[in-house]
């Protein structure tokens, strides 16, 4: 089976590498020449366009920055649709808007292509380890065909429902992660300004009802003052904006999400868009006039 992979950036590269390491032949494409060259060095074959990938492959994966790029790769003049044929399966691993996934799926279906939306969670670290959570929406038979491939990149594979439902699950997950991060920053800062050792407070919360994934980043990131990017503020802003747009479409009030989006907007305005999500702490630190830092053990 010939596989294609479009978009071999920070997360796409390890996902594509896992497929190669599993013994699959992979034809890759990326708009950034250095990214593609790196992937070829890891064992992929290089292609010159998404169309070229689709022409040669049975299943095509993509990992792209957002909805605009997904539409361009899938439906553009030199995109997947230009080489569409019955039986081709397109699996988009990007964080996308559900409505865009549905629109792209419908356009490709007219040409015989089956699309799955399959966003992933776990970041670069999870992609490197092959332990991502993968949330899949779309045709169940196509999902079962692709499941063995997805198991090379993820440890938790979910079929969520119809096309677009994978995107819904991913946006809900990310909104919770971002809001939890903002709340964790405020809580730890409050305790620190009141005189409680931040590391002790961290240990207490992680052993108590306030524990969350968001707290796990404190020792390596916030306590160390390390806001270099893993998952950036810009990416978080994009994902949370998509979640709020979905809230608008469904008339669901997302009060906490809206507050968090403004915090992210503030950081971007201050030039911190390329920093790590943990940079949310810098906003509350500036407001309170205190920093939460813990010397390494």
Of 140, 170, 193, 238, the catalytic one is 170
Q: Is 195 left (phi over 0), alpha (psi -120 to 50) or beta?
A: left
> What is the DSSP annotation of 148-214?
HHHTTTEEEEEEEESTTHHHHHHHHHHHHHHHHHHHHHHHHHHHHHTT--HHHHHHHHHTSTT--GG
Q: Are 171 and 182 in contact (CB under 8 A)?
A: no
* Cβ neighbours, 10 Å, residue 192: 20
Q: Are 71 and 104 in contact (CB under 8 A)?
A: yes
Only one residue has tokens 């994934």, namely 213
The dihedral through the CA atoms of 8, 14, 16, 21 has a sign that is positive
DSSP 44: P
Which residues make Cβ contacts (< 8 Å) with residue 206, sequence separation at least 6? 215
Which residues make Cβ contacts (< 8 Å) with residue 251, sequence separation at least 6? none
Bridge partners of 158, per DSSP, are 135
Q: Is 193 a catalytic residue?
A: no
Distances (CA, A) of 152 to 63, 117, 179, 185: 15, 17, 30, 34
Catalytic residues, by residue number, are: 170
């Amino acid at each position: 089976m010939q596989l294609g992979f479009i978009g071999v950036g920070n997360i796409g590269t390890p996902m594509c590498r896992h497929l190669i390491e599993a013994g699959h032949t992979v034809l890759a494409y990326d708009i950034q020449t250095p990214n593609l060259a790196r992937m070829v060095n890891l064992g992929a074959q290089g292609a010159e366009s998404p169309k070229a990938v689709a022409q040669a492959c049975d299943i095509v994966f993509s990992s792209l920055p957002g909805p605009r790029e997904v539409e361009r790769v899938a439906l553009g003049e030199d995109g997947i649709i230009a080489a569409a044929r019955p039986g081709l399966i397109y699996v988009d691993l990007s964080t996308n808007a559900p409505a865009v996934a549905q629109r792209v799926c419908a356009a490709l279906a007219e040409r015989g292509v089956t699309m799955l939306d399959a966003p992933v969670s776990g970041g670069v670290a999870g992609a490197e380890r092959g332990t991502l959570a993968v949330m899949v929406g779309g045709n169940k038979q196509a999902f079962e065909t692709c499941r063995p491939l997805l198991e090379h990149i993820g440890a938790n594979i979910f079929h969520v429902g119809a096309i677009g439902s994978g995107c819904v699950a991913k946006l809900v997950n990310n909104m919770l992660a971002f809001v939890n991060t903002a709340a964790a920053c405020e809580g730890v800062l409050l305790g620190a300004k009141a005189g409680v050792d931040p590391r002790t407070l961290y240990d207490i919360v992680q052993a108590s009802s306030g524990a969350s994934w968001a707290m796990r980043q404190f020792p390596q990131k916030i306590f160390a003052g390390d806001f270099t990017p893993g998952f950036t503020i810009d990416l978080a802003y994009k994902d949370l904006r998509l979640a709020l747009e979905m809230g608008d479409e469904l008339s669901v009030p997302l009060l906490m999400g809206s507050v968090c989006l403004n915090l992210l907007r503030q950081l971007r305005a201050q030039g911190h868009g390329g920093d790590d999500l943990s940079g949310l702490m810098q906003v509350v630190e500036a407001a309170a006039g205190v920093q939460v830092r813990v010397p390494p053990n």
